[in-house]
Each structure stands twice: as C-alpha cells, then as structure tokens.
Chains A and B, each alone.
Chain A
Amino acid sequence: MASTAETIEQPREEDASAVVVRFAGDSGDGMQLTGGQFTLSTALEGNDLATFPDFPAEIRAPQGTLFGVSAFQINFGSRTIRTAGDAPDVLVAMNPAALKTNLPDLVPGGMVIADSGAFTDRNLSKAGYEENPLEDGSLEGYQLLSIDMSAMTLEAVKPFGLGNKEALRSKNMWTLGLALWMFDRKRAPIHDWLKTKFAKKPEIAEANIAALDAGHAYGETAELGYAFQPRKVAAAPAEPGLYRTVTGAEAISMGLVAGAQLAGLPMFFGGYPITPASAILHHLSRWKQFGVTTFQAEDEIAAIGAAIGASYAGSLGVTSSSGPGIALKGEAMGLALVTELPLVIVNSQRGGPSTGLPTKTEQSDLYQAVYGRNGDAPMPVIAVRSPSDAFDCAIEACRLAVQFMTPVMLLTDGYIANAAEPWKVPDLGGYSPFPVAFHETAPGEGEKFNPYARDDKLARPWVKPGTPGLMHRIGGIEKSSSTGNIDYSAQNHQEMTRLRSEKVLGVADHIPEQDIALGDASDTLAVVGWGSTYGPIHQAVNRMRAKGRSVAQLHVRHVWPLPKNLGDLLRGFDKVIVPEMNNGQFKTVLRDQYLVDAKPLNKVSGQPFRIGEIEAAIEEALDG
C-alpha cells in the first residue's frame, strides 16, 4: 500500500497493530466468499491488508476430506502490510479436516474458533482423528472457542423455510457475523452486498442476513471471556485519496485496457480457460464499451494466433494463460517475434511442470519467458510484484509492445492473481500517452516498400491491411532486411538475428534504472527478488535493518532486458541472495549476465515465502 513512511514491524507478541486471521473449511463451505467479504469490511475500516486465498484444484472435493480444505488468510493492521502474514493469530475451522490441516500454522497460544456441529464422528474419522480434539484437551495450548455454528445457523434461518442443506449454506455468514463482531466492524456493507448478490432470490438474501446478524449477536450476548472481547484495529496511515481493494487479475485487466487507450488502439484479447489466468478473460469480456473484443478460442494456440492476427490488422493483440498454455503458445510467440508485431502475453504462473499444481503459486516460468522459444528469440519480460503494481506493469507491457513492435511477456502468478490489497485509484491523466502512428505513406515511383525498414528504436513500420499502395507479405520464414522478401542467405540471417537481438536489448535504454527498495549500495548483502516475493522480502529486510543488519533490497520489474545499471549495483555488494519460488532461475540469469556470486533461496511448496524464512537466510548469509 502506498504510504509515505516505512514503519518497522515489531515482534508479534508485542504487536497489536496487525492481526492474521485464517478462515478454513470444506471447499463447499464458502470460505473464499467469507474471506472476500471480511477483506472488504477490513478495507472499509481503513486498515492496510494483504490476503492469501488457498484452495484445492477440485471444484467440490469430497466433503470433509483433508485435501478438500479451502482456506483464506488475511493480514490486516494499522501499519503498512506487505504480506498475508506468516502464521495466523486466529484460525476459524469449519470442520475437523480444516483444523487438522491448518493448526500447525497457528501461532502458539493462538485462537481457534471451531464449529463443533461439524465435528461429527464421520467428519472426525475422515480427518483421521480418533478422538474429538475439541474435547480431548489436545488444544490446551490455544484459546479455544467451540460453538455449534451449524445448529445456530439452522435456528437463525428457520423463519425462511429453507431445506436443511440450503439453510446450512448460510453457515459461512454466521461465521462472518461473529468475525465482524470480534473486530468491531460494520454489518451494513455486507447487508448491501448480500441484497445485490441475491437480488433475484430475496429469501436467500434475508436468510444470509439473518445468519450474519445472529453470528454478530452471539458475540455480543454470549459471555465469551476476556480473550474473545472485540478489538479495534485502527486505520493505517495512508496518502489521501480514493481507495478500493483490487486483485492482481482485476488490476492487470484494467491496466491492459488503459494501455490500449494510451496507445490509441482497440484491444483484442484471445484467451482459453486455464487456472489461474481465466479471471482476466472474465473481466475483459465485460468491458466491450472500452473497445475491447474478447475471443474464447478453441485452444491456447488459437488464442494467441487470433491475437497475432488482430495485431496484424491494427488492434493491440493480447493473450493470457498459465505455464502449460504458454508452452503451447511457444511457436506462435516466435511468429509474432519474427514478423515483429506487437503482442502482450500474460502468464499467470502456477506450480509446474506439466499440469503441476493448478491452484498453487510458483515463479518457475522465468526460463520459459526469457528463453523458451526455438531459435534466437528474445522478447521483453516484465514481472508484476503485487496486485496494485499489476496495473502499471500492464501499461508498461503495452507501451513496449507498440513502441518496439515486439511481443512482450508479462509475468504474474496465482498468488497475485487471487490476492487482494488496497489500491489507491490512480489518476489516468498522470500517465503519458504513447499513441501509435501507423505507416500509411506509399512509396514513390520506382521505390518499393520495405516492411523491415527500421526507426531509431529498430522497430519496423506497422502497416494496417487496407492501406493502399503498401501491400506486402510477412511470415515466419526469414526475410531480407533490405526488401522484406524471403531470404535464406547466411549473411542476411546473421544480420536479422543481430537486429532482433539489438532491438530487444535496446529496450534497456527506455526503462527506468534499477532502484534500491530498502537500504543502499554500501550495504553488505543485497536480497534480489522479482515478482510476488516483494512483500516477504521487504518485511524481512525491513526487520533485519531494524536490528542493525547491513542488508538492502533490490526488486527487479524488468526481467528482460535487465536495467542497465543492475550489474554495477550487484557487483557493489559483498553478497547477493535471490529468494525465488522456483529452483533458482533468476539467480542463474544474474550469474550468467553479471558473473556475480548470487546465492539461491528456493521454495517450491506452492506457498508464498514466510518473512521468517527470508530473515533466517539473511542472517545465515551475513553470519555464515
């Protein structure tokens, strides 16, 4: 979140300025919805926040099973929040499986709120419990609040005459009501949201409202003891302005629309459903009034093929997918690259290889983005660091695509795509337009148009079919640099390969130099990251600096080509570590480019880094 001053995070036990809550239940229990609405009420209170939705790949995994548990974690506070939090202070467990899978993460002495009504013999045995943990004393080290939420929900919605199954669907709202009471939140915005969501089924809206109010009333009336008294988390300091919550997928979608507008072009988006990238297709398909045409293609290749065709015809072509789909698009990316047409390719990375972990996050497509095409096929690559950063990165990808006549890869990941954070709504008037000038001048008598003539950025002219006097042919076969006709000659291929490489490397002259996010160039250790690891790295470096350690943070947005000053910056540090949610890909790029002894810190568990893991690596690097 945009705030003027950095606040140093204090150790948790003394720190009442931030709370981490995790809602966990069966995948059919509506935990993502509960979390989403709790997020909204948190944002409306003016707290800074970060969230982490974590759900199974199955739409409805078998009820009550360990692998069917869906969780939503939120970290909120009265200070700057950069991660969804390492360990929850409060765990809401809607069934035994949710308790079993999430309890190990809870802070010692943390709070457990459990639905005792769901701790049936059947559910206990599915979760592998021999005894009921709510009753056998095994939760002694925690503050346990065991409530039969199922029964209370049924009682609350009784007047609406719903069936048992239907009525229990409101259980998540009862839970949310209790959570709203616990953190002293207003119910009205959730009431409004329920009325809008169930506008066509008013009885369902009323039942949910009744459940929400009942959960809230339970907190007020039941004497729950000191530990469970409502606590007010004060608003976080923030720059004045209009704010909203935004997920990465929303921000990328809006940024792409803004980018096309700044270029003065209609946008064409070709997509094929894939987790976790589909949300971008969903958002854009609703925004036709902004000159957006969306096309759900028959496959990933058709999605990029149509986007290339649209760019060829004068639109800004965009396609989006996740790792497996990006692999399928590889040959077509080469076509866009060799025909030098603008194109934005968004990769919402997930755990790989192959199908991998569709709903879990990873940063393991960096090699694929930078190197993953046949031939010498360079392409600019930009990495998004957070949901709110996604808007600017999408605009930047559009700018490079049209100014350099090149495909551009925009890397985001499952975590950023789904996570929400407060976003200060930018003033679009503050962005410099980069209008496209199509080439429309026909060659003079006796002259011929060369589609591979180049400007000062080495970009070729963009000619829309339909323009008189400029008919020409392009294609994937190597073309002569001087005529645009097919040319297999050795000398020409050498020259065209050089031109394609130099054009993309030249992007470095038109991007900002690398900055130092925390610390300065005289520090001993640099922690270098890219993408969604920004939050945990930032907090870890922040805490270590507060302890007087000589450590700096560098976070790279332009992954290819790299900022011109990055090599000199890195060589100025004694030590460099690179935390990544992969097996060491950016580390290898940095070593290759700069011959620096960058050390990896790798995590491929499908979960984001914890701040503590990076703190430990910093200590080890400095002391080791």
Chain B
Amino acid sequence: MNEMTPVKTTLKDWESDQEVRWCPGCGDYAILKAVQRTMPDLGVTPENTVFISGIGCSSRFPYYMETYGFHTIHGRAPTIATGVKLANPELDVWLITGDGDGLSIGGNHMLHLLRRNLDCQVLLFNNEIYGLTKGQYSPTSRVGTRSPSTPFGSVDRPVSPCAFALGAGARFVARGIDVNKNLSATLKEAHAHKGTSFIEIFQNCIVYNEDVFEPFAAKKTADDTQVWTVHGEPLLFAKGEKGLALDTDKLELKVVDVADGDWEAAGVVVHDQTNRGLAQMLVQMPFGDFPVALGTLYCDPAPTFDSAVGEQNSAASVGKDHDLQALIGQGQTWTVE
C-alpha cells in the first residue's frame, strides 16, 4: 500500500467501538495508542489494513483497531497472514504477537515467516511472562524466574527475540519500549520497509512481571541504559559521554568513554543498519555491562515472498492454455465411437 496516494485519516478513524479490556496500567495500552497515532502518518486506509493476532493478552489488539482484524489461534498468526498476503498482496498486514505466542508455540512459524520475508509488520510484545494464563514463565523469562509453574525458579535459558529474528534471516529488526515516545518513529520505519519487519517491544506486565524491564526502561536512568541506533550516526549514549566501539581482538562491541565529544578518537562505531554483523553484536550485548540497543537495529531490504510468488505465478502462466477442458482431456486419450 506504500505506493498509493496518501490518504488523510485521524486517530479517531483507527479506534474501534470496542471497550479496551487490558489490566489497568498494562503496557499494551501505550502500544495501542502509539499504533493508532502512527497510522494516520502512514497514508493508508483502514479498509486496506488487516491486523492478525494469535492468542494471549496482546492478541486482543485487533478488536480495538477500526480495520479488518482476525484473532486466530495460538501461535499461528504468521500462517494466516501468509495466506492473506499471498491471496491479496495489496493489503497492509500487521501481526500482533507475544513472547509465548510468537516464540514458544508459534516459534516455528515465526522462523519461516522471517526467512521467507513476507511483506508485513510483526509487533512482538515481550513481557517475559504468560499473562493470559496467569503468570507462568515464558521462553524469554530470565533464568530463575519464579512463577506458578516454576515455584523454585526457572532453569532453562531464555531466547533473545531479535537474535532469533536475525538468525532466521530477517531483513528488518528493531526494538522499542511500550511507553517510549520513539516507538512511533520505529513503527514508521518498519512500515516503510518492504518485507517482514520484526519489532520487539518491551511491554510491562503490571500484574505478573511488573517492572521487569525497569533497570533499562526507567526514564530517570535511560541516558545511561539505552543506546538508540540511528543509521549513519555514532552509537553514543550517556549524553554522548560513552559510546560503543569494536573490540577487534574479541570481535564484539565494547563500551568506551568519549572525551570532549570526540567520538571518532574513541573509536565509536557509526551505525550502519545494513550491517548484519553489527546488528548481531548489538542485540547480544548483555545488559549491565552494556546499555540496551533500541530503535532500528537492522534494515537491509530483499525481495519479498509475496512478490516472488506473484511473479512466478504470472511467469508460469505465460503462453499456457487457460482452457480447463483442454487440461482434463490431455494425456494419452482414446475415443469410443
């Protein structure tokens, strides 16, 4: 839909008449508002927009958007989205999923969606917990997470959603925080990217996992704990007093001090969003020693699955007999007089 003449809509045009029913204070409210606020800036129409979700708290999302919406089954939203987009590539498809829906029960579909590069936006709400089923640990929960199903703490190691996405061959990988004002800009970049745009959104579950992201998401300390990546700009944080440089011995990033704003002297890396290796290093930085990388970490467009299928369908039809009667009567035949 990106090629169409921009259409004027307002926030109201994107709000359905349904009462929003997440827990008071849930991060989902902020994400919903950010999406509804961003849609008018994309120049698209509600009737050409489809929101598709799986199962979980986040997956109620489509009911609140005044667009076409399909609340499907647990983990399978990528499969339904694939059929929708292949059947009608003109539609603007958004997937809403969570850490359990998208990376546990639906992990396989997510892998294949990303490697195929179907043109759609994937918003993965990561709250590191199963909310709708009342608080069990999830595949992104940190080791030691105590939950109804892990009263002595979880022992399995979590998956990193963005590292998974890059490993699967994603061409657009970004990170955002539910309540952060930058989310809208990231959504716009995701929408502008043709192909599967994967956005991990750190989302606060106020009931079962409150403030799990607070160490890096808190506004008060954000300067020191967050590095926002901008293509062509140096990877700086702490008000420009620190940056990320390449440790060439270990082939990983390191935090360096920047004196007097001379980031070049400190060896700070300039963000290149087409550099997959850099993206991999950014998503794997352990928080604590490092800040958390946010924004568009990787964007390197490649042909989409839906366009490839459409092109092959057209090419394979050229010069072929379109007469079904001829098809059913072909092969070795004989006539009875």
User: Using a CB–CB distance below 8 Å, which chain A residues touch chain B?
Assistant: 40, 43-44, 46, 189, 193, 238-245, 254, 257-258, 261, 266, 268, 270, 287-290, 293, 295, 297-299, 301-315, 317, 331-332, 334-335, 339, 391, 425-428, 464-477, 485-486
**B42 interface residue (CB < 8 Å to A):** no
Of the candidate stretches B148-156, B189-197, B270-278, B313-321, the one touching chain A is: B313-321
| Partner among B62, B83, B317, B331 whose Cβ is within 8 Å of the Cβ of A317 | B83
Chain A residues, Cβ within 8 Å of B83: 268, 270, 295, 305-313, 315, 317
Q: Are B87 and A313 closer than 8 Å at their CB atoms? A: yes
Q: A306-B80, A309-B80, A313-B91 are in contact. Are A43 and B324 (CB under 8 A)?
A: no
Find the A residue at minimum CB distance from B313. Answer: A288
Bound Cα distance A61, B81 (Å):
41
Find the A residue at minimum CB distance from B1. Answer: A466
Q: Are B47 and A468 closer than 8 Å at their CB atoms? A: yes
| Partner among A242, A288, A472 whose Cβ is within 8 Å of the Cβ of B312 | A288
Q: Are A43 and B328 closer than 8 Å at their CB atoms? A: no
| Partner among B73, B309, B321, B336 whose Cβ is within 8 Å of the Cβ of A331 | B73
| Partner among A193, A304, A474 whose Cβ is within 8 Å of the Cβ of B69 | A474
Bound Cα distance A485, B63 (Å):
9
**B120: shortest Cβ distance to chain A, in Å?**
11
Q: A472-B69, A475-B62 are in contact. Are A301 and B79 (CB under 8 A)?
A: yes
Find the A residue at minimum CB distance from B319. Answer: A289
Q: A288-B316, A301-B79, A306-B82 are in contact. Are A315 and B69 (CB under 8 A)?
A: no
Q: Are A268 and B79 closer than 8 Å at their CB atoms? A: no
Bound Cα distance A189, B309 (Å):
37
Find the A residue at minimum CB distance from B109. Answer: A302
Q: Are B47 and A254 closer than 8 Å at their CB atoms? A: no
Chain B residues, Cβ within 8 Å of A332: 73, 76
| Partner among B63, B320, B328 whose Cβ is within 8 Å of the Cβ of A473 | B63
**B215: shortest Cβ distance to chain A, in Å?**
36
What does the 1/0 interface line of B3-42 toward A look like (CB < 8 Å)?
Answer: 0000000000000101000000000000000000000000
Question: Which residues B40-82 have CB closer than 8 A to chain A?
Answer: 45-48, 50, 52, 55, 62-63, 66-73, 76, 78-82
Chain A residues, Cβ within 8 Å of B45: 468
Question: Which residues B98-125 have CB closer than 8 A to chain A?
Answer: 108-109, 111-112
| Partner among B50, B78, B337 whose Cβ is within 8 Å of the Cβ of A465 | B50
Bound Cα distance A170, B189 (Å):
61
Chain B residues, Cβ within 8 Å of A238: 336
29 A–B contacts from the bound complex (CB under 8 Å) = A44-B334, A238-B336, A244-B330, A244-B331, A254-B328, A261-B324, A289-B317, A289-B320, A289-B321, A295-B86, A297-B79, A303-B79, A305-B76, A305-B83, A305-B109, A306-B79, A306-B82, A309-B79, A311-B83, A465-B48, A465-B91, A467-B47, A468-B45, A469-B47, A471-B47, A473-B68, A475-B62, A475-B70, A476-B55
Find the B residue at minimum CB distance from A260. Answer: B324
**B241: shortest Cβ distance to chain A, in Å?**
47
Interface of A is mostly: mixed
Question: Which residues B297-337 have CB closer than 8 A to chain A?
Answer: 309, 312-313, 316-317, 320-322, 324-325, 327-337
Bound Cα distance A241, B334 (Å):
8
Chain A residues, Cβ within 8 Å of B63: 473, 475, 485-486
Q: Are B47 and A474 closer than 8 Å at their CB atoms? A: no
Chain B residues, Cβ within 8 Å of A302: 76, 78-79, 82, 108-109, 112
**B54: shortest Cβ distance to chain A, in Å?**
10
Bound Cα distance A304, B312 (Å):
22
Chain B residues, Cβ within 8 Å of A258: 324, 328
**B2 interface residue (CB < 8 Å to A):** no
Q: Are A314 and B88 closer than 8 Å at their CB atoms? A: yes
19 further contact pairs, Cβ within 8 A, besides A268-B83, A289-B321, A427-B325: A46-B334, A266-B87, A288-B320, A289-B320, A293-B86, A305-B80, A309-B70, A309-B80, A309-B81, A315-B87, A426-B328, A465-B50, A465-B84, A465-B88, A466-B91, A470-B47, A474-B69, A474-B70, A486-B63
Bound Cα distance A295, B116 (Å):
12
Q: Are A298 and B112 closer than 8 Å at their CB atoms? A: yes
Find the B residue at minimum CB distance from A238. Answer: B336
What does the 1/0 interface line of B187-213 toward A look like (CB < 8 Å)?
Answer: 000000000000000000000000000
Interface centre among B55, B309, B321, B332 (most CB of A within 10 A): B332
**B247 interface residue (CB < 8 Å to A):** no
Chain B residues, Cβ within 8 Å of A305: 72, 76, 78-80, 82-83, 109
Interface centre among B45, B73, B317 (most CB of A within 10 A): B73
Find the B residue at minimum CB distance from A427. Answer: B325
**B233 interface residue (CB < 8 Å to A):** no
Chain A residues, Cβ within 8 Å of B320: 288-289
**B262 interface residue (CB < 8 Å to A):** no
Q: Are B62 and A293 closer than 8 Å at their CB atoms? A: no
**B319: shortest Cβ distance to chain A, in Å?**
9
Bound Cα distance A186, B246 (Å):
77
Q: Are A475 and B71 closer than 8 Å at their CB atoms? A: yes
Q: A289-B317, A290-B322 are in contact. Are A309 and B84 (CB under 8 A)?
A: yes
Bound Cα distance A477, B47 (Å):
22
Find the B residue at minimum CB distance from A261. Answer: B324
Find the B residue at minimum CB distance from A426. Answer: B328
Bound Cα distance A315, B332 (Å):
32
User: Using a CB–CB distance below 8 Å, which chain B residues touch chain A?
Assistant: 16, 18, 45-48, 50, 52, 55, 62-63, 66-73, 76, 78-88, 90-91, 108-109, 111-112, 309, 312-313, 316-317, 320-322, 324-325, 327-337
Chain A residues, Cβ within 8 Å of B50: 465
Chain A residues, Cβ within 8 Å of B317: 288-289
Bound Cα distance A465, B83 (Å):
13
| Partner among B55, B87, B322, B333 whose Cβ is within 8 Å of the Cβ of A425 | B333
Bound Cα distance A259, B48 (Å):
28
Find the B residue at minimum CB distance from A265. Answer: B87
Bound Cα distance A121, B87 (Å):
60
Bound Cα distance A287, B321 (Å):
10
Bound Cα distance A239, B90 (Å):
49
Bound Cα distance A305, B79 (Å):
5
Chain B residues, Cβ within 8 Å of A44: 332, 334
Chain A residues, Cβ within 8 Å of B312: 288
Interface centre among A243, A288, A339, A473 (most CB of B within 10 A): A473
Bound Cα distance A335, B329 (Å):
37
Q: Are A298 and B109 closer than 8 Å at their CB atoms? A: yes
**A297: shortest Cβ distance to chain B, in Å?**
7
Bound Cα distance A303, B85 (Å):
14
Find the B residue at minimum CB distance from A257. Answer: B324
Find the B residue at minimum CB distance from A339. Answer: B70
Chain A residues, Cβ within 8 Å of B82: 295, 297, 302, 305-306, 309
Bound Cα distance A43, B52 (Å):
51
Chain A residues, Cβ within 8 Å of B70: 309, 312, 339, 473-475
**B114: shortest Cβ distance to chain A, in Å?**
11
Bound Cα distance A427, B328 (Å):
10
**A36: shortest Cβ distance to chain B, in Å?**
11
**A323: shortest Cβ distance to chain B, in Å?**
21
Q: A261-B324, A473-B71 are in contact. Are A242 and B87 (CB under 8 A)?
A: no
Q: Are A268 and B87 closer than 8 Å at their CB atoms? A: yes
**A472: shortest Cβ distance to chain B, in Å?**
7
Interface centre among A40, A44, A288, A331 (most CB of B within 10 A): A288
Q: Are A310 and B86 closer than 8 Å at their CB atoms? A: yes
Bound Cα distance A331, B81 (Å):
17
**B58: shortest Cβ distance to chain A, in Å?**
14
Bound Cα distance A303, B16 (Å):
31
Q: A240-B336, A295-B86, A309-B87 are in contact. Are A254 and B327 (CB under 8 A)?
A: yes
Bound Cα distance A470, B45 (Å):
12
Q: Are B76 and A301 closer than 8 Å at their CB atoms? A: yes
**B128: shortest Cβ distance to chain A, in Å?**
25
Interface centre among B52, B321, B330, B336 (most CB of A within 10 A): B336
**A331: shortest Cβ distance to chain B, in Å?**
5
Bound Cα distance A305, B48 (Å):
21
